[in-house]
Structure 1
Amino acid sequence: MTVIINQETIKEHIIHRYENLLLDDVSIDTDSDNIKGSFSLKIEKDDPLGRQIFSKNINPDTKILTPQLCMESLALASIVCSGKLKEGQMAIFAGISNFKKLKHLPFSENIIGEVEKQGSKGAFLKYRGTLKDNSGNILAFGDMMAYFTSTSMSNDNEEPKKIEAFPIPTEKTPINKTDYPKPSQMVVLDHVLNCEETQILGDYTYPTTHPFTKGHFPENPIMMGIMQWISVEDLALQYAKTNKITGEKTLKGNAVLFKHNYTLVAEVKQFECSISIGVDSILDQCDVIQTRKIVFRNMVRPGETILILLKDITIT
């Protein structure tokens, strides 16, 4: 038996609201011995929830959806298929693995997602998901780990993991957010602090006025994990421009995000980006197309600043 739930009922399963409600409906397979289901999502120019903020332009006439939206929507569907949240409970992203983007995520077209539980350990649940277009072509896929916890959770009583070393800032060059072919609120980078042969350091302060603060989460704003992931591609584009790289290239590397007190926020292992600079009919941009693993380690709240370090960079 398949149970189909609409967006209003989805709100009983997750606490995400407004732009962060990245599901239109979910179909849950109740006959399966394992947790599995599917969902649909269509984001258009005048989306009633304002979710067009997740779009970007390939060129002035063509929009697509940011690739990180893939794993966020798959994670939300996985949580919904797992059942309703209890009073005072929330589910957060703990990690992503084996992500690969095969095609652009279309704007103003229906997208179909499929999710299935792979295992669990304590409060951690692992899922696998695939995103497809209306014709059944695979757009992207990956695994994600969700963690079920209290809405009052904080990192205050935990011993945080610290970064051991990072390059000394040698500059504080502000970036021009209008250089990116997407809404300025989705450029997760403020300054370049250091740029060397195989690494670059930048920073970003999560604004208290950011649109996501009201829906992720209501009365308990926390920076989205995928925004931290987006910062990697935003800084990768700055690395390419600083080094005067042009054409269509592939940039690979590793990344760590941390706070000024050296507390680790996230670790991104073996990411791969496609970069286009100075290419006819394509706006200068960078897309994450592959990531082996992301571990989210510490929450970021409005007003806090994170430093983003890309290292071990290679370009082909």
Structure 2
Amino acid sequence: MSIDVAIIGSGVAALKVYSTLLHNRNLNPLIIDFNPLGGILASANFVYKYPRIPIFIDSNIINLFTTCNPLCYHLEVCILKEGDIIDKIKGFAPFDVQRLWIYELAEKKTACFLPHLSKCILALLNVGNETIRRVRDSIRKVDITNKVIATLQGLTFRYKSLIYTWPLDLLMKIISNINDPSISALINDVINKAKYVSIYTRSYVIYEKSSKYDEPKIELYLHGTKASRVHTIIKIPIANSITLLYALTSYSEYYPLLPGIGDKIHSELKRHKVLTPSMQVLDYSDTNIVYGFLNTLPEEALEKVKEKLQGYNIMLFGRIAEWREYDVPSLLFKRDLHIKIHK
């Protein structure tokens, strides 16, 4: 099958590109990915369809999301245990990361949350889940000289331009037939410098009878020592007596993830009295965010990689493809897309 533009990925970056090409260029691009639309921001397998991870929007731009029914509440911070919270959030990795959004959140007085984030994003981009043209499959190889994609299920697609939104460090595992060895060396050099910290999240939908006199608020709990695996707990009221509870732990090669971590998190929530006998757990889900925090790569080398790939009609776009800590609004609203479509 021949297509104008192939988009590898299905997260926010991929959806942004799809929307731009569909509405501004009158093209019909194709998304190829095995993950659900929305990627890590897709709803959990809850009956309630709430986000699997806690994503907050700055209150000064929340007006851009008014059709999405945002919830903005006072943020209350509680320190469960003093310690080096930054190191713990980083999974005790010995390198700096670009952005510690959890620490940034703790410094805010008001936090805004979108309870139906993935649905909201599709509405803002004016694309429908059922109408998006995509193939639910994974990539086996991309022949970048002949511009051919081969999938694990045996499908082949000949493309004119390719937008890559998957993780940067996976790029060399799927591209092939590079006719200039210096390009491979350049890309590998940058990829070898790419480091990240992962986040494991246990999320709950909880029923807790609340008083009509209680002011709704978002509660943020921080734990700064190794006495507990959890470093961040967030409670968000989303409806009458219904609360979302997120518990986060970071891990890296320097601080590996423990077996049975979900049960350990549950036990710690009870020990810290964040999860109490008066609460009824309606549903829960575990989510592994592999690329939770990203280190900083040499800007000049990264730009050279992007420039060389553009010579093969390949564009890197998005947080983990460009290895830059874009937040959701930056991808949805702020960033101009200069997509070259080759005929």
User: TM > 0.5 between the two?
Assistant: no
Q: Which has the larger radius of gyration?
A: 2
Give the structure with the larger helix fraction: 2
Larger RCO, structure (CA 8 Å, separation 6 or more) = 2
Instruction: Classify the TM-score, shorter chain.
Output: under 0.3
Give the structure with the larger strand fraction: 1
